Amino acid sequence: MTLADLIAQAREALNTAIATRQQEQDALIALRSDETLTEEAVRDQVARRDAADAEVTRRQDALAELETEQAREVELAALQARTVPAATRAPAYDQVARVGAEERTYRADQDRRGQHFERDVAAAFLGDYEARDRLARHMQEERVERGDQLRAVGTGAFAGLVVPQYLTDLYAPAAAARRPFADAIRRHDLPAQGMSVNISRITTSTSAALQASENTGVSETGIDDTLLTIPVQTIAGQQTLSRQAIERGAGVEPIVLDDLFRRYATTLDSTLLNQATTGLAASAATITYTSGTPKVVEAYPQVVAGLAGVESAMLDQASGENIVVMHSRRWYWLQNGLSSTWPLISQPGIAAQMGGTNLGATYGSGVRGVLPNGTPVIVDNNVVTNLGGGTNQDEIYVADRNECHLWEDPNAPMYIRAEQPAAASLGVLMVVYGYAAYTHSRYAHAQKITGTGLVAPAFTGV
What does the alpha-carbon distance between residue 208 and residue 218 come to, in Å, rounded to a whole number? 8
Q: pLDDT tens-digit profile of 206-240? A: 999 999 999 999 999 999 999 999 999 999 999 99
With beta carbons less than 8 A apart as the criterion, state whether 389 and 401 touch: no
Instruction: Read off the pLDDT band of 108 (50, 70, 90).
Output: confident
User: Is it the case that residue 52 has pLDDT exceeding 50?
Assistant: yes
Q: pLDDT tens-digit profile of 392-432? A: 999 999 999 999 999 999 899 999 999 988 889 999 999 99
Supply the pLDDT for residue 88. 47
> Where is average pLDDT lowest: 111-125, 383-397, 403-417?
111-125
pTM score above 0.75? no
180-208+220-454: CATH number: 3.30.2400.10
With beta carbons less than 8 A apart as the criterion, state whether 400 and 209 touch: no
In 3D space, the residue among 460, 443, 187, 177 whose CA is nearest the CA of residue 325 turns out to be 177
Instruction: Read off the pLDDT band of 116 (50, 70, 90).
Output: confident
What does the alpha-carbon distance between residue 353 and residue 341 come to, in Å, rounded to a whole number? 8
Q: For residue 447, with 0-12 CB atoms within 10 Å meaning exposed, 13-18 middle and 19 or more buried, which class applies?
A: buried
What does the alpha-carbon distance between residue 141 and residue 144 come to, in Å, rounded to a whole number? 5
E strands, 177-218, are 186-189, 196-204
